[in-house]
Structure 1
Amino acid sequence: MIQDGRAALGLLVTIYGNNGISFVFRNKDLDPRGVVHRSICLAKGYNKSIKRLTNTNCLSQPVDIWLRPPCRVVKINTDGAFSMTRVVASSGVVFRDEKGEWLLGFSRSIGLATVLQSKPWAIYDGLQLNWDRGFHEVIVESDSKEAVELFNNGWDSFYSNWLVKEIRTLCRQQWLVTVLHISRRANKVADIDAKLALGGQPGLQVFPDLVSEALHQLENDALGTQFVSVSV
């Protein structure tokens, strides 16, 4: 079902329930049929976007492109960065609307950590800031397959218990969250944000306005500049 969307975005576990690519909150007050229906609508919206951008009915290769979310859905791109010389990590998150316009960005200097440890931090901060701002339907994207699988299937012991607890608490709120694994090329703006905090003072820095370093890439994303990965 919706084969084009699967080819371009990987496995949308909100619908297909496979390989740990996505997580839908487990709030008991929500009608499961409504959750499934809305998830299918999101996937169809992505499917139409892909067809419009590629002018094809079937994608045999993944499209390395940032896609606009459906109407009234916020997209949150998350990423982590790591400095081998200083052995420190940071995370970055970008909020965008259905037009691809900047809503909010931030970066966090984590300190001594691995790049894999920085990815869940980005997901946590993205969810927390999103909840504080009252967005009820969000798509969270990460280019770390490991982090997305951990998010969906369970967390390793090296993650602090409080971070795990906070993420799970956020996911039980009354909202719809879809987490997707994407390519690095589709996640460049979040990567720029993450690198801004490398080596800085530990803590969160919020960017209400677009950071100049990300302007060019943000415009490319909004215009649909694409790169198609081809396996040889």
Structure 2
Amino acid sequence: MAASSIANPRSDTANQVWTDLSPLLQFNNMEIINVADGVTSFLIHPEITTTVGRLKHCTFMAVLWEIWCSRNRARFQGQDMSAKHIINRSMLSIRAITIAANFQKILQPWLVALCQSNSRNEILKVLIPKVVRWLTPPPGRLKMNVDGAFNMTSGEAGGGGILRDHKGNMCCAFAKPYHGLNSSLSTEALALRDDLSICCSKGVYEVLLETDSLNLLHIATR
């Protein structure tokens, strides 16, 4: 779906999101007649080289993404759209970006919106997202990242993995659903099994494995 159609769906939730953020973004979706022109005008107006301009662009795109995700959850999972939830998730993403990109001279209105103190050495009691960088394997080695997800409500489960070389180039990858499972750990375990099977089928018998499941790591390395 085009960004313009996400930016201005005529829904109370989306309108509330843009209204609440309009003091920061100076973007009001109710004032534009041609949605595509309005979005284009907004995106080319701020100076991207300034901190405020970069924040506006990043926030605008983060909000588009969160509205899209919320719309999908409402349509396919029956979850109500929430303007507060969309804004909170968007600001978590922007907070992570400002930390990772080391934004400087952030103005007070943005600091308040991001729940950050005016002092870079003082942080309010909020959970700051930790940016985790993917580390390449040593030259000549391969790394397999494996992950799995389980929805307790619906019973849906799925897993996948990606094999990359020391330059970060993908060698192979897979993703598949699993059925009849009852936990995230069992999903992660099946994904690990399938990852190893794929490596063996391709003649790869020495590989670095990386997973975000501490329980699976303990079981596999006992």
Place the TM-score, normalised by the shorter chain, in its bin.
0.3 to 0.5
TM-score by length of 1: 0.37
Higher relative contact order (CA 8 A, sep 6+): 1
Relative to its length, the structure with more strand (as a share) is 1
TM-score by length of 2: 0.39
